[in-house]
């Protein structure tokens, strides 16, 4: 710190607030001694409605924000995955619009996976049958 800073700080320490003037003191006294106005009907209704609104908001907040604690998510583990051999259906050859021949083929298979959560003893089985159809071109000589 230099001397200028010390001079400013000492000047600020020496400052003292002035007491309020007599007009301020008399105005405060009049405001404190004034009789309270009787509450109007509108004021009573406003106060009651504000109180009831606050109570309703508190009740709704309690209902919406106090939920049961969320339990841990299930921990499923893969128990079994199975894909039996596909079933293949081969049909008689057909003539296409361009004059060539093709053999229609349909392939069907099932995928099955089984998951289990040992904590809750629950089991989830996912079964997904699938089917594809295609044409195998034939070359004839």
Give residue-wise pLDDT tens across range 41-66.
777 788 888 888 989 988 888 887 77
Q: What are 80-136's pLDDT values in tens digits?
A: 999 889 999 999 999 999 888 999 999 999 999 999 988 888 898 998 899 999 999
Contact (Cβ atoms closer than 8 angstroms) between residue 138 and residue 105: no
| DSSP 3-state of 2 | coil
Q: Which residues of 80-109 are buried (b: 16+ CB within 10 A; e: fewer)?
A: eeeeeeeeeeeeeeeeeeeeeeeeeeeeee
Output the pLDDT for position 88: 93
* pLDDT of 1 above 60: no
Tokens of 98: 């361009």
Give the 3-state secondary structure of residue 28.
helix
User: Burial, 114: exposed, middle or buried (Cβ in 10 Å; 0-12, 13-18, 19+)?
Assistant: middle
pLDDT at position 68, please?
67
Residue 114's pLDDT is 92
pTM for the model: 0.40
Q: Tokens 């079994």 appear where?
A: 80
What is the mean predicted confidence (pLDDT) over 20-35?
A: 83
């Amino acid at each position: 710190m230099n001397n200028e800073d010390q001079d400013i700080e000492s000047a600020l320490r020496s400052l003292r607030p002035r007491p309020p003037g007599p007009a301020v003191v008399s105005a405060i006294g009049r405001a404190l001694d004034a009789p309270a106005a009787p509450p109007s009907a509108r004021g009573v209704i406003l106060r009651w409605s504000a109180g009831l609104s606050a109570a309703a908001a508190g009740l709704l907040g309690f209902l919406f924000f106090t939920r049961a604690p969320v339990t841990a998510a299930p921990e499923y583990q893969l128990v079994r995955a199975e894909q039996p051999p596909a079933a293949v259906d081969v049909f008689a050859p057909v003539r296409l619009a361009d004059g060539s021949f093709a053999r229609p083929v349909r392939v069907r298979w099932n995928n099955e996976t089984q998951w289990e959560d040992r904590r809750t003893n629950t089991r989830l089985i996912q079964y997904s049958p699938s089917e594809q159809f295609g044409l195998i071109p034939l070359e004839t000589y």
